[in-house]
């Protein structure tokens, strides 16, 4: 029934985006990030559960087929798996073919306090192989429990040095989840090149998810080192090794949502190019990242339906090589906001 309904979609609802690889499948290169629908600390709070379900349904109707979430995209420790459950409800409400949708979740983090600040996060320590397996099972149950998790990501690799025995043990345990059919593919978040190299001894690293934007570029141009918090050179390494890179905070992240970063004020050169093309500066930045690094999968965090059209706009922007390098060379002005 769902597959038949999907065949009746209008042209505006077709999959319109270039694709990137996640494990053994390909997905459109723009996806939906669900942190804003789960946490409370963003300006304006989070949307109602009903609104969040509708947002995901509209994103699927627009052609998005990748949804990024986490077990800790929630209000606080008493609300774990909230966003995963919202996604489950949205997939049940959608009249399309859910087998075409790739849902990615994460584990290894915890929430504490009342959840009303962006600092209410911490790594689960120690995060043992037993805890890792239990974490995956809980996420699988929250997402519906009937299918393997398409992509599971270790939320904070930089809690460990890559050569720590504990990190090796966790990567070995993660590989067993693939072998056992619990997950389809595995990725790393907040990691360095050294972490990727170690994980690659146990499984094919499908994705890396680190911060990358015009304010924070260490994943692109930073120097590579073995320090556990170092993320230098991760994007070039992912390009060379066929790993899909998902930048979080592509438009400035929580610092932009709460007014500490402002693309228009901090990067007037972007505004100038955007005006000449008749597009929004935010869509231009997303298009620039994809033009610079075709292995990028954008996960655009949304809290309102009106912003979904910005994803479509970004996909339709063409940039010349000169424009790509002009944006790449832009520097933050001295007055640019700090995170």
| DSSP class per residue in 206-249 | EEEEEE-SSS--HHHHSPP-S-TT--TTHHHHHHHTT-EEEEET
At a CB cut-off of 8 Å and minimum separation 6, what does 40 contact?
46, 75, 76, 115, 116
Q: What is the pLDDT of residue 136?
A: 98
Q: What is the pLDDT of residue 229?
A: 94
Which residues in the chain show pLDDT less than 50?
1-16
The encoded tokens of residue 274 equal 């955007």
As beta bridge partners, residue 188 has: 154, 208
In the chain the first and final C-alpha atoms are separated, in Å, by 47
Burial of 110 (0-12, 13-18, 19+ CB in 10 A): middle
Angstrom distance (rounded) from CA 255 to CA 238: 26
Domain boundaries, the chain: 2-328
Q: What is the pLDDT of residue 3?
A: 40
Q: Are 22 and 102 in contact (CB under 8 A)?
A: yes
| Beta-sheet pairing, 66-68 with 30-33 | parallel
- The pLDDT tens digits for 280-322 are 999 999 999 999 999 999 998 877 777 777 778 888 899 999 9
> Considering the domain 2-328, what is its CATH architecture?
Alpha-Beta Barrel (3.20)
- The pLDDT tens digits for 104-115 are 999 999 998 888
- The label of the residue with tokens 């429990």 reads 145
Q: What is the pLDDT of residue 335?
A: 59
């Amino acid at each position: 029934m769902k597959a038949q309904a999907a065949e009746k979609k209008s042209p505006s609802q077709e999959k319109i985006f270039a694709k990137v690889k996640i494990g053994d499948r390909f997905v459109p290169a723009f996806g939906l990030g669900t942190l804003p629908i789960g946490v409370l600390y963003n300006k304006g709070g989070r949307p109602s559960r009903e609104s969040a379900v509708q947002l995901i349904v509209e994103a699927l109707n627009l052609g998005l087929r990748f949804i990024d979430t986490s077990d800790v995209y929630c209000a606080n420790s008493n609300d774990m798996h909230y966003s995963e459950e919202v996604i489950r409800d949205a997939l049940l409400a959608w009249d399309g073919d859910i087998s075409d949708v790739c849902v990615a979740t994460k584990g290894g983090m915890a929430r504490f306090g009342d959840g009303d600040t962006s600092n209410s996060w911490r790594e689960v320590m120690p995060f043992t192989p037993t805890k890792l397996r239990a974490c995956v099972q809980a996420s699988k149950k929250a997402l519906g429990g009937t299918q393997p998790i398409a992509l599971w990501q270790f939320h904070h690799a930089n809690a460990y040095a890559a050569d720590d025995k504990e990190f090796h043990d966790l990567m070995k345990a993660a590989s067993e989840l693939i072998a056992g059919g619990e997950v389809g593919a595995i990725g790393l978040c907040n990691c360095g090149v050294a972490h990727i190299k170690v994980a690659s001894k146990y499984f094919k690293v499908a994705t890396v998810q680190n911060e990358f934007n015009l304010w924070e570029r260490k994943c692109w141009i930073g120097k590579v080192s073995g320090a556990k918090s170092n993320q230098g050179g991760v994007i070039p390494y992912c390009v060379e090794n066929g790993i899909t890179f998902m930048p979080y905070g592509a438009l400035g992240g929580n610092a932009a949502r709460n007014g500490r970063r402002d693309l228009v004020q901090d990067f007037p050169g972007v505004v100038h190019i955007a005006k000449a093309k008749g597009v929004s500066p935010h869509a231009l930045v997303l298009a620039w990242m994809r033009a610079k690094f075709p292995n990028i999968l954008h996960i655009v965090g949304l809290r309102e339906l009106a912003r979904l059209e910005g994803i479509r706009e970004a996909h339709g922007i063409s940039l010349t090589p000169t424009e790509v390098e002009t944006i790449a060379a832009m520097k933050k002005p001295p007055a640019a906001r700090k995170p």
